[in-house]
Amino acid sequence: MTAKEQLIIFDTTLRDGEQSPGASMTRDEKVRIAKALERMRVDVIEAGFPIASPGDFEAVKAVAEAVKDSRVCGLARALDNDLDRAGEALKGANAGRIHTFIATSPIHMEKKLRMSPDQVLEQAVYAVKRARRYTDDVEFSPEDAGRSEIDFLCRILEAVIDAGATTVNIPDTVGYNIPDQFGSLIATLRARIPNADKAIFSVHCHNDLGLAVANSLAAVRNGARQVECTINGLGERAGNAALEEIVMTVRTRQDLLECDTRLDTTQIMNCSRLVSGITGFAVQPNKAVVGANAFAHESGIHQDGVLKNRETYEIMCAQDVGWSENRMVLGKHSGRNAFRARLQELGVVLNSEEELNAAFSRFKDLADKKHEIFDEDLQALVTDTTLGITNERVKLVSIRVCSETGETPTAELVLALDGVEKAGTATGGGPVDATFKAIESIVESETTLKLYSVNAITSGTDAQGEVTVRLEKGGRIVNGQGADTDILIASARAYINACNKILQPAERAHPQTGQV
């Protein structure tokens, strides 16, 4: 990148994105997503918060060891234990970064930290120096910078840069800022801090007011050269700036922006589908760049214009972000090697022959029901298969559902619970309700159903239905996913998958002492 400066893309799907209620990921799921991000050539992958739990530590460690071409980052509060744990988790990384933070807004310092500004500044400097014991690449964030006093921000950022921070990140932690204001903040900091040229300025914007992408781009136009974002805009509350929107705006509006990314944008759709499948957070059809309608044209005027010249109504090429007009890849006569090869092209890496065999068996079953197998089908199939392998306390053995006009729907099913087959029968207001009640009669999870969502993975009456079920128990929220051409089987699988997660110990729990 010679004529343009590089805009560093810092992806925090595995850390901040995971803080969406129900979006927790296992270690192996994090590694799958990290490898997909690496193939997309993401510069920095924030893999998690190592001090949060043993599970999160192991996940960061696994990502650090698996990823070779991207830098792997771990989050740490400005505390000894956090910093040491992050350093240990990143020990196997080819290139590692520690991202440390402390709150700097008056309300956070007074009400949460109960520290004076001078104490906060001292702790920030100490944290950066301690992090430097483990890596030369240290990022510092003043939490709630968007509501911090400008004079204090200048003081603390100058001090941490002197202490060795190579990146200073300005987070709009609560999504409070608007573009002109936030862009001006970045410009002012860069102008007033004497050693500003010694560090890269970064931004991390939340989407509470729907302005995360706009605020991030305003910061880029005022000199920020790193943007922290997530696939599909995933994240706590209303989410974060969406990686795909940031990258494609920068790529599309080169007339206004003096930088560009090094990302392989053709990998965007694969990453989007993978994250959606693993977390159970469906992408809305009208979502920019990756939504099903992003390149669809209903209006006759628009259709006529696009047929004559694509650029009349399309500012991006669908193929540039990974959409393809011909997505059918396999059918019932396809062999195991062709199946494996296509998964590799999609960036899906299975960890064992057991997983490959299970996925191929599911593929053959699907091919008997569905003539055309698309990439989206394969993504859902593999996610559904790996979920079944990793969560095995409850398995679906058989299901029979009866629903007819004027009669109460009834579900009869057999589950294997800890290896022992048990039968259950229930009636309900509809076939899905009856199915869930029959499962509950066996599992007795004592959960509350918070969400039931169905999406058609592809077009056609034989399309697979992808079901997401969200359950809550004692404040803990989990998502379950299931896919099948039979929506009742998909629903049962999704509910069972969620039950399996509830029945297992929680892998992680973020200490709620502050997040960037």
Annotated binding residues = 16, 204, 206, 240
Residues 73, 79, 81: CA angle, nearest 5 degrees: 80
Q: How far apart are the C-alpha atoms of 61 and 69, rounded to whole Å? A: 16
DSSP 481-495: EEEESSHHHHHHHHH
Classify the C-alpha dihedral 413-417-420-424 as positive or negative.
Answer: negative
Q: What is the largest CA-CA distance in the chain?
A: 78
Nearest alpha-carbon partner for 11 in 211, 212, 227, 174: 227
Structure tokens at 50: 């190592």
Neighbours of 114 (CB within 10 A): 8
The candidate with the shortest Cα–Cα distance to 106, out of 65, 54, 145, 163, is 145
Residue 167 near residue 200, CB atoms below 8 Å? yes
The tokens describing 412, both together, are 């009869």
Report the binding-site residues for Mn(2+): 16, 204, 206, 240
Enclosing H/E stretch for 72: strand 71-77
CA distances 140 to 94, 250, 372, Å, are: 21, 25, 50
User: Please, which residues bridge with residue 97 across strands?
Assistant: 73
Burial class (CB in 10 A: 0-12, 13-18, 19+), 476: middle
State both tokens at 165.
Answer: 């921070």
**Locate tokens 């379950």: which residue?**
480
Burial of 494 (0-12, 13-18, 19+ CB in 10 A): buried
* C-alpha closest to that of 43 among 229, 217, 199, 222: 229
- In residues, how long is the chain? 516
DSSP state of 22: B
